[in-house]
Chain A
Amino acid sequence: MLYAILCYHDEDFVGSWSKDQDEAVMKKLAVVQEGLAKQGRLGPVARLLPTTAAATLRKEDPPLVLDGPYAETKEQLLGFYIVDCKNLDEALDVARDLGSANPGGAYEVRPVGVFRPGGNLK
């Protein structure tokens, strides 16, 4: 079963990390990712730009474009992983491993219904 692991964190906090702190976190995350990749369980990984760079299209008639993310929340969606796991427990284990890389925030673990890795992105 494929799981999406959605990373939520306080954007102001993440934006205040020093370059060293940021690099240290990325390094720790890379270790977890490599482990998953070696087992052939790692799908796409994305770190998103700040929510200030986001726009939201509301499906009205005609569709309305708004600035900013879809939801005003205390913690923002900052990135995601697609990982192959046997069950929820295993997916939570992956989230726990990722979580040890940096303090605070939360991971939403969501089973994936449809997955098309193809497209033509390099």
Chain B
Amino acid sequence: MSEADTAWIETALTSARPQAVGALLRYFRDLDTAEEAFQNACLRALKTWPQNGPPRDPAAWLIMVGRNVAIDEVRRTRKQQPLPEDDQAISDLDDAEGAIAERLDGSHYRDDILRLMFICCHPGLPATQQIALALRIVCGLTVKQIARAFLVSDAAMEQRITRAKAKVAEAGTPFETPGAIERSERLAVVAAMIYLIFNEGYSASGDTAAIRKPLCEEAIRLARLLLRLFQSEPEIMGLTALILLQHARSASRFAADGSLILLDDQDRSLWNGTMIAEGLALIDKAIRHRRSGPYQIQAAIAALHARASTPEETDWAQIDLLYGALEVVQPSPVVTLNRAVAVSKVRGPQAALDLIEPLAPKLANYFHFYGVRGAFLMQLGRNDEARVAFDRAIALANTSAEAAHIRVHLDRLIRDSQPKGANGGARQDAKVKAPR
């Protein structure tokens, strides 16, 4: 078998994974058993598919084979493990395939996949563990790959995932088919987890962006999958659109030296047009439902940026209104801070400054607050105050890219305050936190 063949088969296994592991989980009612059964089925696939060609329905094949191997295992070890009665085990893998499609009950698969995603979102797990677990059991990333994206050692990640799995096992998995209300609650929880995965990748700095990009790609894959299972959910459309529109800009977000490039300064020719088109199409569809929600509003804001071929064409008045709507459904000081940027473009820096002044106590430790405040003060010509704000921002910066970005502002301030002809741009020594 050529390397290319193996790569294609591995891709097929990856894409079949959520459905197959989800079905095996329903069948065995135990995550470890389900995963092991899937692994065994994958090993068989790597052996037999190159000779016989891939099956028409890889997921069905993997479910069937995974079941049978596990059942054979049980028989061999003569463990009297009670299995569901609807089982018609056949161990002859070669002619199993034809009959498989009819034998598998396809009606379950939506809830199977949703359940698999949902158990990763156990409320007792910290967000990072939820994400790591989902990447491992739903996306099938290796511990090594996940550790790399999270910038931790393999051993630490292994431990994190093991702990998370134990917690999930302890909590028990809900196997009864969910009712409509429960299903939509699960959807909301899973959507939030997918957005967390995306943000984990998106909030990288220049030197880690490449390593963390797979997180964004996995999040998009999960969002599309969820949307395919639940076609008419406007908030899932909104979520998918939002992350597509944000990810479409990834090629233009960092300079060669790893520093962050702000939206206004990005080279828009580097934006991914196909992703933008898909994002815009989804927003279009979502709005028809007239059931607004935070993901849709944020996606609509991202869409207005995406539609502007130059920064000057950005419809800031509309963005201001949308942030206003977001403040109503999901009030937070960070939303107001973002709104202030739109306000500064529409009504000037003083109005924007008035809007964020009350946020100071809540955002006392938030890097962006001081960066934005400094920018408004600078626009108003209050340079000394601006400098104080920028210094504070640098002290609070989480990444070297954030700090470097603020330094550009500071350098400009210093340069502007020098008498003409002097060499401006002397670096201020500010304490910078080490990047995470």
- Enumerate chain A interface residues (CB-CB to B < 8 A): 10-13, 15-18, 21, 49-53, 55, 65-68, 74, 102-104
User: Given that A50-B278, A74-B56 are contacting pairs, would A55 and B285 also be in contact in the complex, using a CB cutoff of 8 Å?
Assistant: yes
Query: Given A49-B278, A50-B224, A53-B281, A67 and B11 touching (CB < 8 A)?
Result: no
Interface presence of B78 (CB below 8 A): no
Q: From residue 359 to 400 of chain B, which have CB atoms closer than 8 A to chain A?
A: none
Q: CB distance B12 to A13 under 8 Å?
A: yes
Residue of A nearest to B279 (CB): A53
Shortest Cβ distance from B231 into chain A, in angstroms?
4
CA distance A11 to B240 in the complex (A): 16
Judge whether A68 and B231 touch: CB under 8 Å.
Answer: yes
Q: Is B15 an interface residue (CB 8 A)?
A: yes
In the bound complex, what is the Cα–Cα distance between A66 and B58 (angstroms)? 29
Q: Closest approach, in angstroms, between the C-beta of A64 and any C-beta of chain B?
A: 12
Instruction: Give the A-binding residues of B (Cβ under 8 A).
Output: 7-8, 11-12, 14-16, 54, 56-58, 221, 224-225, 227-228, 231-232, 237, 240, 274, 277-278, 281-282, 285, 288
Q: How far is the CA of A42 from the CA of B105 in the complex (A)?
A: 42
Other-chain contact of B15, A15, A49, A51 (Cβ < 8 Å):
A15
Would A52 and B224 count as touching, CB distance under 8 A? yes
Q: Which residues of B contact A103 (CB under 8 A)?
A: 8, 54
- Most chain B CB within 10 A, of A18, A51, A67, A74, is at A67
B224 touches A21 (CB 8 A): no
A18 B285 Cβ-Cβ under 8 A: no
Q: How many A-B residue pairs have CB under 8 A?
A: 63
CB contacts (< 8 Å) of B7 on chain A: these are 21
Question: In the complex, A74→B210 CA distance in Å?
Answer: 34
Q: Given A52-B282, A55-B285: A17 and B224 within 8 A (CB)?
A: no
Bound state CA distance, A78 and B414, in angstroms?
56
Residue of B at shortest CB range from A24? B4
Would you call the interface of chain B mostly helix, strand, loop, or mixed?
Answer: helix
Given A74-B56, A104-B54, are A49 and B231 also a contact pair (CB < 8 Å)?
Answer: no
A51 to B228, CA, bound (A): 8
Could you tell me the distance between the alpha carbons of A49 and B220 in the complex, rounded to whole angstroms?
14
CA gap between A10 and B11 in the complex, in Å: 12
Min distance, Cβ B296 to any Cβ of chain A, angstroms: 14
Distance, CA A11 to CA B59, complexed state (A):
13
Known: A15-B224, A68-B228. 4 other contacts (CB 8 A): A51-B228, A67-B232, A68-B232, A102-B8
Interface pair A10/B15, CB less than 8 Å apart: yes
Which single residue of chain A is at the shortest CB-CB distance from B236? A52
A16 to B12, CA, bound (A): 8
Residue with the greatest number of chain A CB neighbours at <10 A, chosen from B57, B58, B221, B228: B228
A16 interface neighbour in B15, B54, B231, B232, Cβ under 8 Å: B15
Query: Does the CB pair B228–A52 fall under 8 Å?
Result: yes
CB-defined contacts of A10 to chain B, threshold 8 Å: 15, 58
* Neighbour of A49 across the interface among B54, B221, B228, B281, CB < 8 A: B281
Contacts of A15 in B (CB 8 A): 15, 221, 224-225
Q: How far is the CA of A104 from the CA of B57 in the complex (A)?
A: 10
| A16 and B282 within 8 A (CB) | no
Q: Which residues of chain B are within 8 angstroms of A16 by Cβ–Cβ distance?
A: 11-12, 14-15, 221
> Known contacts being A21-B8, A103-B54, is A53 close to B278, with CB within 8 Å?
yes
Pair A49/B277 contact, Cβ less than 8 Å: yes
Least Cβ–Cβ distance between A17 and chain B, in angstroms: 6
Are B16 and A12 touching (Cβ within 8 A)?
yes
What are 11 contact pairs spanning A and B, CB under 8 A?
A10-B58, A12-B16, A12-B225, A12-B228, A13-B58, A15-B225, A16-B11, A52-B224, A52-B231, A52-B240, A66-B232
What is the distance, in angstroms, from A63's C-beta to the closest C-beta of chain B? 13
Q: Once bound together, how far apart are the Cα atoms of A55 and B231, in whole Å?
A: 10
Name the residue of chain A whose CB is nearest to the CB of B280. A53
Report the minimal beta-carbon distance from B392 to chain A, rounded to whole angstroms.
40
| Chain A proximity of B54: nearest CB distance (Å) | 6
Name the residue on A nearest B7 (C-beta).
Answer: A21
A53 near B285: Cβ-Cβ < 8 Å: yes
Chain A residue numbers with a CB within 8 Å of B281 are 49, 53
Q: Which residues does chain A contribute within 8 Å of B224, judged by CB atoms? A: 15, 50, 52
Residue of B nearest to A52 (CB): B227
Q: Kindly state the separation between the CA atoms of A74 and B58 in the bound complex, as whole angstroms.
A: 11
Assuming the A-B contacts A49-B278, A74-B56, are A17 and B228 also in contact, with contact meaning beta carbons closer than 8 angstroms in the complex? no
* Contact assessment for A13 and B282 in the assembled complex, using a CB-CB cutoff below 8 Å: no
Residues in B whose Cβ lies below 8 Å from that of A68? 228, 231-232
Going nearest first, the 6 A-B pairs with the smallest beta carbon separation are: A68-B231, A16-B15, A53-B281, A12-B15, A67-B231, A13-B15
